């Protein structure tokens, strides 16, 4: 499973990238707003840092305007994936932009039916939002599993990009289901390293090392 980091913060991306943990980046208008940066400038910086796909989202809602915005975003760098919402207009924009050879991430996917349409429109990625479904007492992971089954039934090429990930367990659950990509905030990716027994074991080992006077350097 590829790891994308869901942020527009350059420092967070850099830290994970140095560890080889970043296969791509996703942003959205809320993350760009939170960064306080200009969308074109910060996206250009991210694209220069990371080799993999960098999703940059349109803010228009009509297909023609989304296509124009998508073309402008795609000019930033060759690794831009234009992010469009999963609306009828978004699907039209997806079809045109992928037809021009651009990567397109169809976002805000909340049902298997929507995911089928994204694949039919030639999406490079579809982004089902796990956490936001869990927030309304539905099961976001069930949606990932349903899309995996449907895409495998028909060998659709669209990659399942599990999004709105809120916990480390979501990451391993997505990997078990077979999501192609999971995008998560840096703090969730870092939380995957934590285990209470690791902390407890390390404390005991260090206490024994001190008692025995073990020195390596
Ligand atoms: C994905 O592309 C979205 O930017 C993101 O995962 C949304 O996550 P949220 O529901 O935590 O805002």
Give the architecture (CATH level 2) of 2-190: Alpha-Beta Barrel (3.20)
What's the confidence (pLDDT) of residue 208?
98
Is 83 in the active site? yes
In this structure, which residue's CA is closest to atom 12 in ligand 1?
Answer: 164
Closest ligand 1 atom to 27 CA: 4
Of 210, 148, 203, 155, nearest to 173 by C-alpha is: 148
Whole-angstrom distance, CA of residue 107 vs CA of residue 31:
14
What's the confidence (pLDDT) of residue 102?
98
State pLDDT tens for residues 169-201: 999 999 999 999 999 999 999 999 999 999 999
State pLDDT tens for residues 63-102: 999 999 999 999 999 999 999 999 999 999 999 999 999 9
Whole-angstrom distance, CA of residue 85 vs CA of residue 107:
5
Query: 30 C-alpha to center of ligand 1: Å?
Result: 9
Exposure string (b/e) for 16-32, b if CB count within 10 Å is 16 or more?
bbeeeebbbbbbbeebb
Query: 162 C-alpha to center of ligand 1: Å?
Result: 9
Collect all residues with Cβ–Cβ distance below 8 Å to 114 and sequence separation of at least 6. 86, 126
State pLDDT tens for residues 3-45: 999 999 999 999 999 999 999 999 999 999 999 999 999 999 9
């Amino acid at each position: 499973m590829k790891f994308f980091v869901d942020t527009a913060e350059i420092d967070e991306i850099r830290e994970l990238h140095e560890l080889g943990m970043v296969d791509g980046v996703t942003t959205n208008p809320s993350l760009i707003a939170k960064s306080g940066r200009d969308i074109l400038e910060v996206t250009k910086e991210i694209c220069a840092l990371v080799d993999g796909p960098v999703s940059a989202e349109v803010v228009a809602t009509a297909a023609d305007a989304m296509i124009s915005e998508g073309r402008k975003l795609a000019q930033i760098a060759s690794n831009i994936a234009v992010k469009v919402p999963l609306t009828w207009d978004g699907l039209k924009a997806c079809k045109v932009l992928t037809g021009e050879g651009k990567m397109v991430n169809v976002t805000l996917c909340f049902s298997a039916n929507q995911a089928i349409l994204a694949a039919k429109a030639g999406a490079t990625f579809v982004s089902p939002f796990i956490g936001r479904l869990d927030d309304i007492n539905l099961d976001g992971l069930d949606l990932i599993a349903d899309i995996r089954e449907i895409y495998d039934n028909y060998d659709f090429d669209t990659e399942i990009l599990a999004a709105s990930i809120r916990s480390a367990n979501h990451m391993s659950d997505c990997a078990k289901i077979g999501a192609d990509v999971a995008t998560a905030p840096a703090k969730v990716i870092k939380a995957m390293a934590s285990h209470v027994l690791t902390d407890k074991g390390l404390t005991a080992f260090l206490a024994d090392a001190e008692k025995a006077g073990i020195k390596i350097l």
